[in-house]
Amino acid sequence: MAIHSAFREIELFAFLPEAELQALSNISITKRLESGESLFDEGEPCKGMWIIADGMVKIVKVTPSGRQVVLALQHAPSTVAEVPVFDGGPYPATVAAVEPTTAILLLKSDFLNACRRNPDLGVRFLAAFGTRLRHLVGLVERITFGSIRQRLAQELLTFSDAAGGGRFAMPETHEELANRLGTVREVVSRNLGRFQSEGMVRIQRREVEILDRAALDAEANTEL
């Protein structure tokens, strides 16, 4: 995807005048990532904000013991690393490609200058921060109070919605999914098998088809 098209695909930037979009495109830097390659690592100084133009990345936090917890998956088109651009701190988490991905860097100074020229841009990013915060609060709630079965049902519905249909390829391995849900691979595999035996889903390798969305939704929304 061309840099200019990538900016236009991002809702946060789409309202900007054509001349501004072209100016941002001209000063941006493109980086191509292979699956598993890091875009940046936790603790690195923030260079700027990144646009995921195509592909998908995961946002990973590493615990003191070395365990990785996946906080979120970001599909294109989307943005990552907005917060450290504003607060001046380092990148708070690692971002790595889940599949071949194209990312576009808008340097911190260039992005902040764009916000000064277009105050509505900063307001839109405040709304984006609110959405990210709500996601993290929900993640903490699910890990703290929800059962693994409930959280896994929620993840399957989220994957389905992101794919736009009832059939999708699992974007994470059982191990990666377990890390994000705060459990181990065997528990994820066992519960997926139970969902299948109960007729909620059909699983063939990494291909998943939701057969009974109502039942899966009921499982996901069990009272915490």
Query: Around Cβ 144, how many Cβ atoms within 10 Å?
Result: 9
**Backbone φ, ψ for residue 165 (5° rounding):** -175, 175
Q: Which domains does the chain have, with CATH numbers?
A: 3-143 (2.60.120.10), 147-220 (1.10.10.10)
Looking at residue 202, its pLDDT comes to: 94
Looking at residue 139, its pLDDT comes to: 67
Looking at residue 63, its pLDDT comes to: 72
pLDDT in tens, the chain (224 residues): 578 788 888 888 888 888 888 989 999 999 999 998 999 999 999 999 999 999 989 888 877 766 677 788 888 888 998 889 888 899 999 999 988 999 999 999 999 999 899 888 888 887 777 777 777 777 666 666 568 888 899 889 888 887 888 889 888 888 888 877 778 889 999 999 999 999 999 999 889 999 999 999 888 876 54
Looking at residue 74, its pLDDT comes to: 86
If DSSP states are collapsed to H, E and C, what string results for the chain?
CCHHHHHHHCHHHHCCCHHHHHHHHHCCEEEEECCCCEEECCCCCCCEEEEEEECEEEEEEECCCCCEEEEEEEECCEEECCHHHHHCCCCCCEEEECCCEEEEEEEHHHHHHHHHHCHHHHHHHHHHHHHHHHHHHHHHHHHHHCCHHHHHHHHHHHHHHHHCCCEEECCCCHHHHHHHHCCCHHHHHHHHHHHHHCCCEEEECCEEEECCHHHHHHHHCCCC
Whole-number Å distance between alpha carbons of 173 and 184:
12
